[in-house]
Chains A and B, each alone.
Chain A
Amino acid sequence: MNRRLAHLLTRLYPRRWRERYGEEFEEFLLDSRAGPKTWMDVLRGAAGEYIHPAIGGAMNEYRTSFGTVVRQPSALIPLGMALTALTVVLIHIAVYGAAREADEGPTAHIWQLLMVAQLPALLVFGIRWLPKAPKQAMGVLALLVTAILAAMAPVLILHL
């Protein structure tokens, strides 16, 4: 295919798509067979990019649901730790009451370990998922923060 035609066909695509793939697509077309079949295929491809854009569209959000993101180990681990910490505190209150102890017992140490250990997992989750699926990742982070606050609430309210 000649350069002029390759350039014209590439210009059919949306600007954002061309900014990323335009140059290499044009080079690719130069080595492709010219003919109605190729032209139709490029026309279909360009129309598809306007209807369901791969870049700047909602494609990633559509494919990456909240459920997919929340099931990632980097989300499940801190969530599990926060819920375990909450359970540990509630069991302690149920068994020993809400009175503050002079010395920190094993329950307090387990709670502290769980609360500190979930921070790196939370950081890994943020770094990995915020750029990929910001909306879903923010939802999961809100859920994780709620779980952490729930685990901290009995300790702060009852001054354990």
Chain B
Amino acid sequence: MDPGYYSDPPLLVLASLASGPKHGHAMIEDIERLCGTRLGPGALYGAIARLEQQGWIKPLPAEERRHPYRITPDGLKVLRAKLTKLHDFSKAGLKRLEAR
């Protein structure tokens, strides 16, 4: 059975930037390696715009035609909180399955 793919673009972008600054295409490749989800340009830039407006990521000076972004300390806090919540949910769900 195909387990599908995980799609929460802002969370995926934050998780990708947690390992260092990246430009858009590098984020897409990294996210695909991380969880099998390939974000399209609209989904990626929708997430980038929202994360930047929240102050969770910041743009770095452009390198040739590429525009890298980095995660901010607030972004790291948010990512940690979201992943912890997801981890707790996943643990509780798996525990229920084990009990069957």
Query: Footprint of B on A, CB under 8 Å?
Result: 17, 20-21, 24-25, 27-32, 37-38, 40-46, 48-49, 54-55, 59-60, 63, 132
Contacts and interface: CB of A to CB of B under 8 A. Distances in A.
Contact of A37 (B40, B50, B53, B62): B40
B65 interface: yes
Interface stretch (B13-21, B41-49, B79-87, B88-96): B41-49
A60 B53 CA distance: 7
Q: Interface SS of chain A: helix, strand, loop or mixed?
A: helix
A38 to B, nearest CB: 6
Most B CB contacts (10 A, CB to CB) among A21, A40, A132 go to: A21
Nearest to A49: B46
6 contacts: A21-B48, A25-B45, A30-B65, A42-B42, A46-B42, A54-B53
A20 B67 CA distance: 12
* Band of interface residues on B: 10 to 19
Given A21-B45, A49-B46, A41 B40 contact: yes
B46 A25 contact: no
A63 B45 contact: no
A45 B43 contact: yes
Please list the 9 inter-chain residue pairs (A to B) with the smallest Cβ-Cβ separation, ordered nearest first.
A45-B42, A41-B40, A54-B49, A41-B42, A42-B42, A24-B67, A27-B65, A45-B46, A54-B50
A17 B67 CA distance: 16
Contacts of A37: 40
Contact of B41 (A42, A49, A54, A132): A42
B64 to A, nearest CB: 9
